[in-house]
Homo-oligomer: A and B are copies of this chain.
């Protein structure tokens, strides 16, 4: 079968031939339909994040996949089930995080991430996976199934943010999504029903397709060059919920000032080292006197994927049409990794069809 991999040190994805995998006990064989591309893939390709499986000189890419069960292999799945795989896998034997269905809470060293770190990904014509890590998805949204993994990231962040506010009556009205990349836009669409007023931060000039999407979702576009995150409270309104998806470290701290009393910020970006000055006294005081919270959130588990399936199914068609700017077959897979263009939002590689 064909797969798309990156060889150690090469810096660009390449088509490789590999034997079709055989499912082991408890594993199903899945024929891959589509696999999305995101910023993490680009970091893996660049060699700045993750790494090859032990003893191998390449890693098959892809962690945002949807496929169809080809061989249930005695698991509870059925041939023809459309499934989305979760990303983390047991590294060596088992550990408590996996045993209780919370691999997303495992610390570094206690997991592999398929397509990212220590395990091959899903960007291949077939993959095998333990059935416990496969989440069923209605066939009607099979073509959008590659959006379930990113949506699950947001489901987990929302779950943890809400949990942090569960000790009192929290009735949030305003939400501010930092970042107008594909995850930011997906999140604005997912938050649409839960918040009265939505804002989305970007740093692009009009006309721009991401700004069009923000506004079509009835959200307010906030240009960070005009209104920095720590001024949004004064310029627009204090935010009950902030969702940071920029990976820009200053935003993590400016979020504290953007929050309304009793608000919470979910942090999702993974920046590199960067020292800078903060008004730490003011931030500390704001945290305390207004009962604010920040929660970091990484990865996601089966229950977040299950919720994400529902969220993706509920997305308006115009939105997914606008969000997914390109789906490319194996013959032109390179185009899915091309990000030089401001008209590209979300791409996927198509490896098969229902």
Q: Does A167 contact B (CB under 8 A)?
A: yes
A107 to B274, CA, bound (A): 33
Question: Judging by beta carbons under 8 Å apart, are A279 and B273 in contact?
Answer: yes
User: How many copies of this chain are found per oligomer?
Assistant: 2
CB under 8 Å from chain B, chain A span 273-304 = 273-298
**Contact between A278 and B280, CB atoms less than 8 A apart:** yes
* Given the contacts A105-B262, A279-B273, A293 and B294 also touching, CB distance less than 8 Å: yes
Contact A107 B287 (CB under 8 A): no
| Residue A7 interfacial (CB < 8 Å) | no
A269 to chain B, nearest CB (A): 7
Instruction: Decide yes or no whether A172 CB sits under 8 A from chain B.
Output: no
A220-259 with Cβ < 8 A to chain B: 249-250, 252-253
Cα separation A198 to B181 with both chains bound (whole Å): 43
A279 to B284, CA, bound (A): 16
Q: Assess whether B293 is in contact with A280, with CB atoms less than 8 Å apart.
A: no
Residue of B nearest to A169 (CB): B100
Among listed A79-87, A158-166, A211-219, interface-contacting one: A158-166
A279 touches B275 (CB 8 A): yes
Q: How far is the CB of A289 from chain B (nearest CB, A)?
A: 5
Q: Is the CB of B287 within 8 A of A294?
A: yes
**A272 on the interface (CB 8 Å rule)?**
yes
Count, chain A residues at interface, CB 8 A: 54
A140 an interface residue at 8 Å Cβ cutoff?
A: no
A121 to B164, alpha carbons, bound, how many Å? 32
Would you call A107 and B290 a contact (CB within 8 A)?
Answer: yes
Q: Do A298 and B293 touch (CB < 8 A)?
A: no
Task: List residues of chain B with CB within 8 A of the CB of A275.
Answer: 277-281
Tell me if A338 counts as interface (CB < 8 A to partner B).
Answer: no
In this assembly, does A318 line the interface, its C-beta being within 8 Å of a C-beta of chain B? no
- Check: A349 CB closer than 8 A to any chain B CB: no
Report B-chain residues with C-beta under 8 Å of the C-beta of A159: 167
User: In the complex the two chains form, what is the Cα distance from A293 to B292 in whole Å?
Assistant: 11
Interface hub of A159, A250, A285, A286 (most chain B Cβ within 10 A): A285
Residues of B within 8 A of A271 (CB): 280-281, 284-285
Given pairs A105-B291, A288-B296, 17 additional interface contacts (CB within 8 A): A105-B262, A107-B290, A108-B289, A160-B293, A164-B164, A253-B278, A267-B284, A267-B287, A270-B285, A270-B289, A274-B279, A274-B281, A275-B280, A277-B277, A287-B294, A293-B293, A293-B294
